[in-house]
Amino acid sequence: MTLIEDTRGRLGAWLPSAPLAPPPHVERAATRRLADAGYRSVWSGEGPGTREVFARFGDLLATAGDVVLGTGIANLWARRGTTAYQGGATLAQAHPGRFVLGIGAGHAFQAAKLGEDYRMRAYLSEMDAVAAENPAPVPFPRVPAARSFESTVETLLDLAVEVTR
């Protein structure tokens, strides 16, 4: 059974990701309480003004030793695909079987602000190229968000099915 299959259908919780709030010690305590309450997975996102998701999740994964943490989403405007892959591989190696990398495009204003024209398929291809050269020691699921301003929802759903591992 894959990590995605294992967490599907189980009770999960969402941690808010407001700009730099709540403080890290509050998030750590909340993650421990959720794990103690029987939640199998805890999810949170990344957006304008929030803490960097890989550093944040490294801290949270070290806090609660038996819960799966997933990004919903790691924003593709925040970093190159190469860096996202390496961040995911680092967390997966440090916390085997406990990290899910959800990737999404966020909002159109973020792309305009950065002056970039990234697309999900190109971003995932960049991640694949890095994975081919430097495979992660511990595999981790990569799940593209099915909703984006990039194109129609149906197209992104097809892409998600095609590339999710």
Q: Is pLDDT above 60 for 29?
A: yes
Give per-residue pLDDT as tens, 126-157: 999 999 999 999 999 988 875 544 444 446 66
Mean pLDDT of 16-40: 89
- Give the closest residue to 101 by CA, choosing from 139, 153, 129: 139
Amino acid at site 7: T
- The confidence band for 97, taking pLDDT boundaries of 50, 70 and 90, is very high
Residue with the larger pLDDT of the pair 104 and 163: 104
Q: pTM of the entire structure?
A: 0.83
Query: From CA 33, how far away is CA 135, in angstroms rounded?
Result: 34
pLDDT recorded at residue 78: 87
- Give the closest residue to 140 by CA, choosing from 88, 73, 82: 88
| Strand 142-144 with 68-71, pairing | unpaired
| Angular region, 115: left φ>0, alpha ψ -120 to 50, beta rest | left
Beta partners for residue 70, in sequence order: 43, 100
Q: Is pLDDT above 70 for 116?
A: no
53-57, 102-106, 124-128: least confident range: 102-106
